[in-house]
Chains A and B, each alone.
Chain A
Amino acid sequence: MDVATDTCILINLVVVGRLDLLKTIPPYVFHAATEVLDEIEDLDQKAAVDQAIASGLLSEAKLNQPGELSLFVNFNGTLGKGESACLALAKMRGWAIATDESKDPKWKKVITGAGFALINTPGILLAAIRAGALTIMEADEVKTKLEQRRFKMKFDSFGSLV
């Protein structure tokens, strides 16, 4: 299953140094639109994502079909370019969306209202545990690191989910 990832997912995985997980959880194949990559402002984070693309952990997706462009510019009336690109890819190519931005009422309304298949960082970690690419202890360490950066998860340990 192809997945269009947003910027938050990439940054979360960069800060915990686990972009590699994107390649370890089949059937998901991750893509980042050019607009999503452009939204990463921190140069070190940008370099890490570029390296991940070069290593084939994810690929850059370009919107270039008239239907995709049309959707993109219409979404961009109320959403950011990265978000609009994700939505256009998901809608036109039937992809899932990877996003963590649940605090944003507008974004949340759009992605939940349109019936997109969704995955988030805790979901990626859980899938990685199930795929044997991550232990529960490693996943909990990642959780702790993310929570130090104000990304809260509503469970104590990944052990309770597996």
Chain B
Amino acid sequence: MSLDANELGRRIRRIRENRGLTQQDLADLLGIPRPAVGQIEAGNRSLDSVELMKLSRELGFDPKDLFADEFNEDQDSVTVLFRSDPELATNHQLNQAIAHWSELCRQFTELEKLVGADRKCVSPALYELPPPGNKWEAIQQGNIIADYERGRLKLGTAPLPDLPEIVEGQGVRVGRLPLDDCISGLFLADDKNGLAILVNADHSEQRQLFSYAHEYGHLLFDRKEKATISRRSEREKLNEIRANSFAAALLLPEEGIREFLMRVGKSQDLFQVQEIYDEEGESVRAQRRSAAEPFSVQFYDVVHLAFNFGVSYESALWRLKSLKIISEEEREELSSREDAARDFRNLLRRQSGHERQIQGGNFQHKLLMLALEAYRLGEISKAKLREIGGTLEVPPHQIDAFSRSAEPAETAEGPMLPH
């Protein structure tokens, strides 16, 4: 279908309205007078290519969509995000972060197709559970699926500092960018962006790890919604509770915690029992009563546990409480020792040389490698490679140096003139 200026204007207006922007907002964005936006939307003034690309970059949509035979914005996860979260329209910085992230994801998807990597990708499971009816159900669903995922991915009971890498291995784009403090992360899920998780780079490493797990949970449960933002103010929503429960259980598996506590002599069993079986068909039973108050979990145990599993002190406390390893009173008491816990964690960090670093999540590196491969295969031009490098803040001279090895030997030009 060849598109006329009227239809193009109508489509631009729909994108603007879906983003909750006024004509003045768009005018400010493009650096043109407000009446000019009205003229563009009415099909009376042409939009030029520079304005179009700026609009696409700032609002996070694929410019090709504007010219598609069928203009269906409902397929676009960024649009869904803006519709579901009216606060986004007024937050320019957050807008830009989402638009930038979406641009990188779309680029990644296109490059994967060009080099044929899309055919080798797997997708994470989709758990189509009934919507939780209450908080209890939400927590239960999160717990069950976390255990199931650990089993499915053969993760055992060990800590998961490499969770972003594991999630990436499931075909999910994983990234971190500075976001508002009240936002821990978001996910996008559509054909163009692929499955994508973004977490707040301004949060602590432990919190980021939790956010990766939380957003991964959303992808497993809520992918059909196409996009959500995880805000602190919405933590009481049932799907947020479910994702939180999933994250806590995935990062701190019950069995792993109990094994850890047993190793540090904080077994819950008051009586320690051992039985040895011999081939005579009898077992020999040995029993020892533990010392007084053997099971009193101290703040340093919790710090050690949190440090080991790469989570925060608070989330370790809540997990211990939810597993009934500590009571609410104990949790409150331990929570009040936050300062001592911080000092102790610093001590562990100094002794081990480093905090457990989150591993993986180098999405930008992967995008650059994919672009170099596409260039090597002759699927994109060098100018496009430089452009992609630009979105990743890699200077052109560096891109040229990387690409040189993939180029044919030096060529010589003869004159070309049209006949």
Residues of A within 8 A of B (CB): 1, 33-35, 38-39, 41, 62-70, 72-74, 76-83, 85, 88, 96, 100-107, 109-110, 117-123, 125-127, 150-155, 161
Contact = CB atoms under 8 A, between A and B. Distances in A.
A51 B306 CA distance: 64
Contacts, number: 141
Given A66-B67, A119-B418, A73 B378 contact: no
A125 B114 CA distance: 38
B243 to A, nearest CB: 34
B231 to A, nearest CB: 33
Contacts of B67: 66, 69-70, 73-74
B383 interface: yes
B415 A35 contact: no
A7 B46 CA distance: 25
B413 A154 contact: yes
Contacts of A105: 378, 408
B388 to A, nearest CB: 10
A106 B190 CA distance: 29
A135 B365 CA distance: 51
A118 B49 CA distance: 23
Closest 7 CB pairs of A and B: A80-B383, A117-B418, A154-B412, A64-B46, A105-B378, A122-B415, A70-B67
Nearest to A107: B381
A66 B378 contact: no
A79 to B, nearest CB: 5
A118 B415 CA distance: 10
B191 interface: no
B416 A64 contact: no
A67 B410 CA distance: 37
A103 B409 CA distance: 8
B387 interface: yes
A83 B383 contact: yes
A103 B47 contact: no
A135 B398 CA distance: 39
